[in-house]
Amino acid sequence: KQEVTQIPAALSVPEGENLVLNCSFTDSAIYNLQWFRQDPGKGLTSLLLIQSSQREQTSGRLNASLDKSSGRSTLYIAASQPGDSATYLCAVIPTGNQFYFGTGTSLTVIP
Amino acid sequence: KAGVTQTPRYLIKTRGQQVTLSCSPISGHRSVSWYQQTPGQGLQFLFEYFSETQRNKGNFPGRFSGRQFSNSRSEMNVSTLELGDSALYLCASSQTAGADTQYFGPGTRLTVL
């Protein structure tokens, strides 16, 4: 069974700092990996989707990388802002199957 | 284009009752997945429906069931509610089945007393 771990569980940074969130998974036979953010009491918002043949994806201040061989993905957030405060979740998808979610990283950006 | 909608947004039930939650996917999306989110277990996959057929099912007891209608709207039902069923239930839709990008609704907060 696929196990997905996110470290750290919580992170607090001052506004303007660059930061990296980590996601590791146990089975490298994945179809793709997706990063989401979740605001308190809300649903999930898709940030980036990386297909297994890709190494990274970028959207604005966000950059996600994928290393299947080592079972790792990172989400890089540049020039963090208070509005980035949320819980960030990664999800891996085995070939044609369900999503397996990590436990999330709770990010607080201090003004 | 309207997003994924879920009704109701909040529910309070007592143990032993049953509950039905509804999800309307984004127009044109044919796949609907359901997840349970709790502080202790995180996000766990319940089931996925595509074209009215259940494609995948997570590791949940038979008290949890679902269905999908011809217009892609989906319902999930939980019978004989237990305290541990208190959770945020999230629905996600995608254009195709499997590993396509999923778009989530706001969730239904179920509290079992």
pLDDT digits (tens, 9 = 90+) for B99-111: 678 889 999 999 9
Residue A59 contacts B, CB cutoff 8 Å:
no
The pLDDT assigned to B98 comes to 65
Grouping H, G, I as helix, E, B as strand and the rest as coil, residue B83 is helix
Size of interface A-B (CB pairs under 8 A): 53
Q: How far apart are CA A37 and CA A107, in angstroms?
A: 10
Q: Within 13 Å, how many C-alpha atoms sit on residue B2's CB side?
A: 7
Q: How far apart are CA B76 and CA B20, in angstroms?
A: 6
CA angle A14, A16, A19 (to 5 degrees): 80
Mean of the pLDDT values across residues A39-50?
89
Q: Which of A94, A100, A107, A92 is closest to A37 using CA atoms?
A: A107
Cβ contact (<8 Å) for B102 and A34?
Answer: yes
The pLDDT assigned to A40 comes to 86
As a residue count, chain A comes to 111
Residue A29 contacts B, CB cutoff 8 Å:
no
Q: How far apart are CA B109 and CA B12, in angstroms?
A: 8
β-partners of residue A6 are A23
Q: Quick check: A17 and A7 in contact, CB under 8 A?
A: no
DSSP line for A50-89: EETT-SEEEETTEEEEEETTTTEEEEEE-S--GGG-EEEE
pLDDT digits (tens, 9 = 90+) for B66-87: 999 999 999 999 999 999 999 9
Kindly list the residues from chain B whose CB atom is less than 8 angstroms away from the CB atom of residue A47. Answer: none
Average pLDDT, chain B: 93
pLDDT digits (tens, 9 = 90+) for A51-87: 888 899 999 999 999 999 999 999 999 999 999 999 9
Mean of the pLDDT values across residues A35-52?
90
Kindly list the residues from chain A whose CB atom is less than 8 angstroms away from the CB atom of residue B56. Answer: 97-98
Residue A2 contacts B, CB cutoff 8 Å:
no
The pLDDT assigned to A99 comes to 84
The pLDDT assigned to A12 comes to 97
Q: Which of A44, A95, A103 to mutate to test the interface with B (most CBs of B within 10 A)?
A: A44
pLDDT of B30 higher than 90? yes
Q: How far apart are CA B91 and CA B43, in angstroms?
A: 11
Cβ contact (<8 Å) for B42 and A101?
Answer: yes
Cβ contact (<8 Å) for B107 and A43?
Answer: yes
Give the one of A42, A46, A89 whose C-beta lies nearest to B101's C-beta: A46
Tokens of A58: 């970028």
Grouping H, G, I as helix, E, B as strand and the rest as coil, residue A20 is strand
